[in-house]
Amino acid sequence: MFKLISKLKNKGNLWPYFFEFFTVLLSVYLAFLLTEWRENHKEQQETKLAIERLNQEIFQNYREIISFKKDVAQRLHKMQLIEKIIEPNISFNDYIGVFNGFRYVRFSTASWKRIGDSKIGNLMPVDYLDWAHDLYRSNEHLNQHNLIINDLMYSNMNFDPKKCKIAYHIAELYVWQQAVWAIDDVYNYTQFIQKYKQDFEYLLKQDSTVNAYFISRDSLTPDKLKDLLKKEAREINSLRKSEKMDAIRSKIKSLKTQAVQ
């Protein structure tokens, strides 16, 4: 290197060579910056698009849980009629039409899974991602509950007239659990959309039913919203013979014992 510089020095002025070297170095550096900017811009666009898609999915799930909450509460009210009309030699399956059958929740998860399978999640705001994670974790409880209801629907208990009352109480417990979780989930979804309201405004404007429901909650103070949550929970619990799950399970266990005897 020094020998090369010495040779160039002997030839005269070095500035043209330094200028050429500096130009090449600057070009490489600028090319690197441009590439990095393009990558960052691409990641920002992908992240923005992923958030928009996730918001659309969350809004779709919000619509579903609002509808689910209403339907399940109505079914639970109708189930109160069954115990009074249960007759011998009739299976619980024959009474399902009385309360319009079980309501299965149907949440969308494609956008959430796509984020989990890529690095985009690492680029999203942590607070936003944590809130979304809590929503999808709650969704999973109800999704798993669908499977439990299916087990009852296809069990021998559902078709055995001798076990009709047992099947009824178990079914009532399952629907009651759906109603309780639905109240909490609607509350959590409402809070999420309140927090990121600006991102959901265009979606709310496109759905008058959900928008009307959201406005009725959004206009309340946090304390009043919690009071409404407690009121709805009390109404659902009032449909049970007991407000405690342990007491309900004890009743079912007792009925099972009687059936065995």
In a domain, 209, yes or no: yes
Residue 203 has pLDDT above 90, yes or no: yes
Mean pLDDT, the chain, rounded, equals 83
* Placement of tokens 């069990």 in the chain: 155
What digits encode the pLDDT tens for the residues 159-181? Answer: 999 999 889 989 988 999 999 99
Residue 48 belongs to some domain of the structure: no
CB-CB contact of 54 with 132 (8 Å): yes
| Whole-number pLDDT of residue 8 | 52
Interval 249-257 mean pLDDT: 53
Q: What is the pLDDT of residue 5?
A: 54
Distance CA 214, CA 135 (A): 17
Domain assignment present for residue 23? The answer is no
* Residue 129 near residue 162, CB atoms below 8 Å: no
Residue with tokens 């698009």: 49
What 3-state class would DSSP assign to 181? Answer: helix
pLDDT at 33 over 90: no
pLDDT-derived band at 70, boundaries 50, 70, 90 = very high
- Specify if 7 maps to a domain: no
The residue-averaged pLDDT of 95-108 equals: 92
Spatial distance between the Cα atoms of 46 and 8, rounded to a whole number of angstroms:
51
Give me the mean pLDDT over the 5-10 stretch. 56
Does 225 fall in a domain?
Answer: yes
Choice among 65-74, 181-190, 195-204, 228-237 with the minimum mean pLDDT: 228-237
Domain range for 83: 53-260
- What's the pLDDT at 260? 44
Tell me how many domains the chain contains: 1
Please report whether residue 18 resides in a domain.
no
Cα–Cα separations (whole angstroms), residue 126 to 55, 130, 141: 15, 6, 23
Q: Within a domain: residue 44? A: no
| pLDDT at 28 exceeding the cut of 80 | no
- pLDDT category of residue 259 using cuts at 50, 70 and 90: very low
User: If residue 172 lies in a helix (H) or strand (E), which one and from where to where?
Assistant: helix 164-195
List Cβ neighbours of 195 (8 Å cut-off, separation of 6 or more). 131
Residue 31 lies in a domain: no
Tens digits of residue pLDDT in 136-160: 999 998 999 999 999 999 999 999 9
Rounded to whole angstroms, how far apart are CA atoms 34 and 16?
A: 26
